[in-house]
Structure 1
């Protein structure tokens, strides 16, 4: 069976596509569908000129990729980070395609980003940059075309700016073009904690299958941003022992367990909430042992949760991993080469396209609410999210057990089956070419 990797795609996208090689052995999918999934539908690179507060004109690079929209409009976040590139955005859009299919959402996969260190910009500069990005990509997005959402270093405020700018361009209110907005601008209850809540539901669904109970389970979380910190809170409330957390500046470790509520309060107080982005770090809490992000990944814990950026666990450090179970809250935190090493070590990895899908699921709920004008309570949102995440977690587990494959491969098998069915519905070689067989 032909695979999705080829020598012409960028390195990150090529690595991402390697995840499908094993899944392709367990699905019946046409060559037409494989050919179409080898390439993004649209890849847009733009220049965004921004007048800085000191009068200088600075030009930023921005991207928006719609990988596939066979099952519905493109859907994916926008990240602000110094390392954002077209290669990275294509890879993330690729993953989003399979994530939306895995959760059986009526969306395709998309992603966007701007190459910028947002912590170096004022709030006014961030607003001009965000609105300039929408000016540049407005023709490529839309309520039924491509829908934006928050991602790394973007938040509800920025989403509100983007929705407002697109509405200004279109001369009409277009709430559904952006999700993750403030509630007052058409956002959904539960969207701010959706990624964390979805991950928590998956963890609560999967760990009992290994006879693990919260009180006896140690957890380390790399990444203490919106998703990581909220997930730490949910897990602590459920009784899990969180022994280590970290952010971009470093981490803290306490074998007896951390007081997560205090850690979150400290970071919230130190981040100077008047700014758009935090300035503090969890590692500034001195009463606990200070560790690096790499040291956190190598801790001897039951559960490791990478919730930062991609490629945190690679072939270079996979042998150091001691955790028994890994739940990927970040997108692509484990490289394909590292996957093989972890598999040989007997470590169970639950993939990002399942674990962190709570965000896109509640984004879907927000889009539905925007279109219907009927808004749900937090309890209703969480009930719907719980039903969706539990169902697809159980589906993934069943496929893994039936086919005797790992959870990542099982998730891709499920997603590929749904994508293949949709792609083949448009016609295949067998349909167009008559044979006597």
Structure 2
């Protein structure tokens, strides 16, 4: 792994809590990557995520597109987002990072933070926008900003388009894998860890495609039903943190321990919550055929190696959950308009192409899908650098 361009740690002068920023790479002088807030967030974690963002950006490089992929970056704050001090810590972190946000780093919601909270804190910190560093690269800044604002105002069945874009990409990744394997959607069972923004949207799109969601896990435990859960009812009962109101459960729904989603009888597992969830020990409990990484870095490398020997395919986060980031830029740069139908069509087409490329290469070379994704990135980064330079 290459050394990141910038790596720093900030200490809050009020609470002593720490925040991190890693800019892995700049393209045209700008990088892209969300800001997460969770207790225990480390610099190493943020560095890994920043490297992943470099890869996600490169994977969506299209020489004909208006959107030109940026470099990769990530921010992280070691604080429980539910802590009463959390918002004030966030504002102070953003003030400290102001020079980077103004010029080099575009950011947005990630684990523990919603875009609404980020936007409010950004304004309080005296910044124009969490993505203002990219504005100088736009042909028509006013029109681009209005287009993105319009897109964020779109709702589909009461859920914001910004919350659905990523899950649409994850679901399309699952469907592409099923199609390649000749597995019908009907009767295919799915277990999802996390019913927040990404997990909830993924579950919705997969259920709409005809798959059966047989287990979902949140902070209270796992809800399971071998006959399939009522996904819409569970989604409607969630609180702001993705926790399901147990009053919404039906007679056949069982409440199981928090890690029961791992061993659910399902063909597809979707870890969509926290990093480092599947390790060398608990991977032995998994019987699914595919693990589709909606979360960032949920499968540890040693676990992935063991799963590969067992014939279980891990579709990696750098591909699977990249649609949220790409949707932002496709919209801002003008590759798509603000509407939901156009967004979903573009996401599905782009993700299917990308997943097909990855799985074809993995099969041809006898390597994991992650290794195949890394190989595609290794091919594309020099092309991007040749066209735009290494930094500026």
TM above 0.5, yes or no, is yes
Q: CA deviation at 1:386?
A: 2.2
Q: Tell me if structure 2 keeps the 8 A contact 1:157–1:182.
A: no
Distance in 1, Cα, partners of 2:146 & 2:115? 5
Counterpart in the other structure of 1:102: 59
> Deviation string for 1:261-307 (max 9, x for gaps)?
1111222xxx2xxxxx4484456656421122322111221111111
Structure 2: which 5+ runs fail to align?
62-67, 136-144, 155-160
1:312 aligns with 2:271: no
Q: How is 1:321-400 mapped onto 2 (pairs within 5 angstroms)?
A: 321-368=286-333, 376-400=338-362
Counterpart in the other structure of 1:43: 7
TM-score of the two chains, using structure 2 as the length reference: 0.85
Distance in 2, Cα, partners of 1:183 & 1:365? 10
TM-score of the two chains, using structure 1 as the length reference: 0.76
Distance in 2, Cα, partners of 1:380 & 1:120? 39
1:161 alignment partner, one of 111, 117, 120: 120
Q: Tell me if structure 1 keeps the 8 A contact 2:196–2:241.
A: no
Q: Tell me if structure 2 keeps the 8 A contact 1:73–1:106.
A: no
1:76 aligns with 2:33: yes
1:116 alignment partner, one of 74, 79, 83: 79
- Structure 2 residue matching 1:252: 3-state secondary structure: strand
Structure 1: which 5+ runs fail to align?
5-37, 50-56, 272-276, 429-437
> Deviation string for 1:177-223 (max 9, x for gaps)?
599x9999566453221110111121222211111111110110011
Q: Tell me if structure 2 keeps the 8 A contact 1:160–1:182.
A: no
Is the radius of gyration larger for structure 1 or structure 2? Answer: 1
Counterpart in the other structure of 1:8: none
CA change 1:377–1:280 in 2 (3 A) is closer
- Structure 2 residue matching 1:46: 3-state secondary structure: strand
> Deviation string for 1:7-52 (max 9, x for gaps)?
xxxxxxxxxxxxxxxxxxxxxxxxxxxxxxx211101211335xxx
Distance in 2, Cα, partners of 1:421 & 1:40? 19
Q: Tell me if structure 1 keeps the 8 A contact 2:36–2:76.
A: yes
Q: Tell me if structure 2 keeps the 8 A contact 1:102–1:412.
A: no
1:151 aligns with 2:106: no
> Deviation string for 1:299-352 (max 9, x for gaps)?
221111111111111111111110011111011111110011101111111111
Q: Tell me if structure 2 keeps the 8 A contact 1:48–1:61.
A: yes
- Name the count of aligned residue pairs: 366
Q: Tell me if structure 1 keeps the 8 A contact 2:41–2:77.
A: yes
Q: CA deviation at 1:139?
A: 1.2
1:291 aligns with 2:256: yes
Q: CA deviation at 1:162?
A: 4.1
Counterpart in the other structure of 1:88: 45
> Deviation string for 1:396-432 (max 9, x for gaps)?
122223323221111111011112444577999xxxx
Q: Tell me if structure 2 keeps the 8 A contact 1:48–1:136.
A: no
> Deviation string for 1:231-263 (max 9, x for gaps)?
111111111111000112211111111111111
2:197 alignment partner, one of 186, 209, 226: 226
Q: CA deviation at 1:70?
A: 4.2
1:253 alignment partner, one of 199, 203, 224: 224
Q: Tell me if structure 2 keeps the 8 A contact 1:130–1:158.
A: no
1:139 aligns with 2:99: yes
Q: CA deviation at 1:159?
A: 2.5
Distance in 1, Cα, partners of 2:73 & 2:177? 28
